[in-house]
Structure 1
């Protein structure tokens, strides 16, 4: 099967997405029934990801991989951990390299001014993949690097949110950060503990919290637009259920509130000594920007709605 031929004539984005979903179903079926990863698809994926930004089929590759992960997570019968390891292990190092490449790209260029551009489409597709990787992490006792990279290198995402990318992508990334700060391993969920017990997750969450609190100290919140609205296919008419009041996107504002507060909560809980809790964390409170304080105050009003 020549996978590149499957996409070469799919200039229509919908048809290309449908082709990716069909390919995802095939690869997953082979993984589940034959316990084998499609070598042709794997080679295509490796070459595509390594060829970024020159390769034009990046979104197709990301859609397919995301689709396979989702198929795996939906299957209640299949051995999900084994399937995910066989799928992701050969891609682990390449996915980390791609993470670095796409998130350190020059996002202030004209290629990212429209949410319908190929460059923006690649970013949206990659955000969907990161969300799928986060959801799949719970299946493995020892998560792969590609399932941890969002926590360990979240500064790339934080910088991206402050770039000139379209608002719809910024919103997706902020909501993804919200899922990160709320994430718990299966063991932590079963234990019912208010705080994380899994060592690798504690390490990752601490890295995430440190990065978030660091940018908050640098007035990161001041640079995030909160006036964006969902619309009908890019028009200026607000879509039904659009959660905007007084010119602010309440969904994003609530998500930002939760992200900052959970990061601060985790940092305080994991401080090595009581002196650090009373000292450094207190200083962080005092050094937050004025907009950060507004987020904290607002959070007291919206916490019941989260």
Structure 2
């Protein structure tokens, strides 16, 4: 009898599976299944419930049927939301949903699957619930009461486990979809309904007070799944932080500010957590929050530009938490392991040591640098010693993590080393260090040259940073143009501020041109044989008039510290489809000059703009090399006296990448060529914003150079 029952169970299971498979294929092809909608709804419900009355021998088939049922509901609900179905199929699917959710109470059965230990079913159930909740919000603006009640209950009381993980993932997914679609009203309504429960959840994992934080971590980490739960919580915190950037001047709920208000507990997590990937995720979250870039990969709705009432106090709280932690030797507890690669951790034999985790090093460094910048801007610090003390703590941390420098090394090279392969982070670091330098210049009471010497000793001389940037791109002005048109970095803001300072401190610039080319500018990022850190073996080697960046990761080509093998490979940084945003000083889109903008002219890319101006382009290296040699030789031939000692030229090199002339002359030439191309683009109305102020600053730099040469000639 048991065999007969088992055979019937298999037959029933196969029939249900075949019917649902047929329905799934019909939806994929855009046609209606042959079964009635009410019959398909009944089959889906039986599949979601897992056919618990069936015998144990059919367990595997039951799991497959459940997965198919969940996938089917998620798929056609998504298609309904995107309105990609034909009218007939749309009516058919709507009828199924009405039967499932109004007559058969499918939502309760879906949420019941959150508790299952089968991670595939639990995740599919969370995914299906998220899709259905978003569809209901999108259609009627109402929140599923069953789902809302479950989230509130679990956030208040449930320990780490499948149910909490599913609720965290489900809510995060719904909020992400609302942010992508810029549904501000619905988003605010949903967060208001869950605000108190979210605060309770976060307080449970991140309580106030260092002792309570440590005890909480010990308790939470005892759970087998705590690492997964923590990562899901961090994902939710990033979504909530991103939502605070889109609410403008409206009401910002407590749950949207939790990353800032619980920043001290998050920093303690980095110290106490036993899981390295959790530490890294926490640091990345704090870094994005401080840079106001939370959710930048998926929050397509974008920031409104306006800030909620407590925004500045929250940012100050986050910055102060970081600085307070550094003061209490928090950096000593931050461990940096070997860099991870697909398949595990790569080990390097011999004397090269291990490769450090550059993501971790960049996150810690940028977190501290931006906190210092914000502290300077808001706290009105009058002590240069306090600010430089934080920098010394950072250098000590990097030295402990095997960023090794020779005694004669130029510390300003550290920025290129740490942030070289991440353009956005490098620009943020350069901008922060520039603010730190200006603060020290204002508070120290030293003369200009003494200030620059102190800045080099602390690694924050803005002239050195800019020259290293130019050398890393082989003084190619077209790459600077890529940066100016891009909205992915803060280069425009940094560039405008630096050009203003450069015009006022030409003497310091020429001095840096000599310093940055000293042969002792040698820097390596590696792990010593006795250290436990690791990372990419990058080296910045400085020889007279030459800076070379190499990597053992790629044996061919010159690796640029700005992220790509640009000139060696013949590529620019990025081909941008559009550049319709900017955040400069006096760089708003011009309203005075008529005519279409670059965006209106078919969203021209950077390459399109350059080809339109110059015709069929030569290879980048050839064009840049020929232009530099010709113009520099012409300029130097017109001089009746010897050039400055730091700008003496040598014969043209035969090895690609070597510098042909003095650093100062090449830098001025690069900026001059940039001014010419920006002016031509502006004349043809192809530049995405009004660059008049930028052109004036570039012209001032050229005037300073000419006056410097004239003064030198008169003395000679």
For normalisation by structure 2, the TM-score amounts to 0.37
Q: Give 5+ residue unaligned stretches, structure 1.
A: 190-196, 240-244
Give SS of 2:340's match: coil
Question: Contact 2:245–2:292 (CA<8 Å) still a contact in 1?
Answer: no
On the 8 A contact 2:338/2:354 being kept in 1, the answer is no
Shift of 1:83: 1.2
One of 249, 261, 266 as aligned partner of 2:357: 249
Structure 1: distance between partners of 2:198 and 2:393: 37
The structure number with the bigger radius of gyration is 2
The alignment status of 1:132 with 2:239, answered yes or no, reads yes
Residue of structure 2 in register with 1:36 after alignment: 142
How do 1:155-170 and structure 2 match up within 5 A? 155-170=264-279
Give the structure 1 partner of residue 125 of structure 2: 19
Deviation of 1:291 after TM superposition, in Å, equals 4.8
Using the TM superposition, give the Cα deviation of residue 188 of structure 1 relative to its aligned residue in structure 2, in angstroms: 4.0
Q: Does 1:181 align with 2:298?
A: no
The answer as to 2:229 corresponding to 1:118 is no
In 1: Cα distance, 2:244 partner to 2:276 partner: 28
Report SS of the residue matched to 1:132.
helix
| Cα separation, 2, equivalents of 1:299 and 1:12 | 47
Give how far 1:64 is off: 0.4
Maintained 8 Å contact 2:332/2:397 = no
Partner Cα separation in structure 2 for residue 20 and residue 97 of structure 1: 22
Q: Once the 2 structures are TM-superposed, how far is the Cα of residue 286 of structure 1 from its aligned partner?
A: 2.3
Q: CA deviation at 1:301?
A: 3.3
The yes-or-no answer on 1:302 pairing with 2:418 is yes
Q: Is 1:153 the equivalent of 2:262?
A: yes
Count of aligned residue pairs for this structure pair: 280
Deviation, 1:53, is 2.4
What SS is found at the alignment partner of 1:106? helix
Q: Which has the higher contact order (CA 8 A, sep 6+)?
A: 1
Instruction: Describe the superposition over 1:60-111 as per-residue Cα deviations: whole angstroms up to 9, x where unpaired.
Output: 1100000101111222xxx5111111111011121112111012463236x7
Q: 1:287 to 1:252 in 2, by over 3 A?
A: closer
Larger relative helix fraction: 1
The 1-side partners of 2:374 and 2:398 are apart by 18
- The answer for the alignment partner of 1:63 in structure 2 is 169
Change (3 A) 1:94 1:299: farther
Instruction: Report the alpha carbon displacement of residue 149 of structure 1 after superposing the two structures with TM.
Output: 1.3
Counterpart in 2 of 1:89?
Answer: 192
User: Partner residue of 1:211?
Assistant: 321
Contact 1:162 1:224 in 2 (8 A): yes
| Structure-2 residue corresponding to 1:192 | none
> Whole-Å Cα distance in 1 between the matches of residues 163 and 240 of structure 2?
20
Once residues 14 and 267 of structure 1 are traced to their aligned partners in structure 2, the CA distance between those partners, rounded to angstroms, is 46
- Counterparts in 2 of 1:291 and 1:139: CA distance versus 1, 3 Å: closer
Aligned to 1:193: none
Is the 2:237–2:258 Cα contact (8 Å) retained in structure 1?
Answer: no
C-alpha distance in structure 2 between counterparts of 1:56 and 1:7, whole Å = 6
CA RMSD of aligned residues (A): 2.8
Residue number in structure 1 paired with 2:389: 286
Residue 259 (structure 1) aligned with residue 367 (structure 2): yes
Partner of residue 376, structure 2:
268
Q: Is the 8 A contact 2:160 2:225 kept in 1?
A: no
Report the alpha carbon displacement of residue 112 of structure 1 after superposing the two structures with TM.
3.3
User: What's the offset of the Cα at 1:187?
Assistant: 4.8
Q: 1:221 to 1:54 in 2, by over 3 A?
A: closer
In structure 2, what is the Cα distance between the partners aligned to 1:213 and 1:66? 30
Distance 1:246 1:228 in 2: 6
Distance 2:396 2:134 in 1: 47
Give the Å deviation of 1:207: 0.4
CA distance, structure 2, for counterparts of residue 106 and residue 45 of structure 1:
22
* In 1: Cα distance, 2:193 partner to 2:152 partner: 9
* Cα pair distance change 1:226/1:55, threshold 3 Å: closer
2:216 aligned counterpart, secondary structure: coil
Q: 5+ residue gaps in structure 2?
A: 1-106, 207-212, 294-301, 348-352, 400-410, 426-716
1:149-170 CA deviation, whole Å, 9 max, x = no partner? 1112200100011013310111
Q: CA deviation at 1:55?
A: 6.6
Moved more, 162-171 or 42-51: 162-171
CA distance in 2, matches of 1:125, 1:162: 19
Q: Which moved more, 1:247-256 or 1:45-54?
A: 45-54
Q: Is the 8 A contact 2:130 2:174 kept in 1?
A: yes
Q: Is the 8 A contact 1:257 1:299 kept in 2?
A: no
SS at match of 1:248: coil
User: What is the distance in 2 between the residues matched to 1:269 and 1:101?
Assistant: 34
Q: Is the alpha carbon distance of 1:54 and 1:221 closer, same or farther for their aligned partners in structure 2, counting shifts above 3 Å?
A: closer
Contact 1:69 1:132 in 2 (8 A): yes
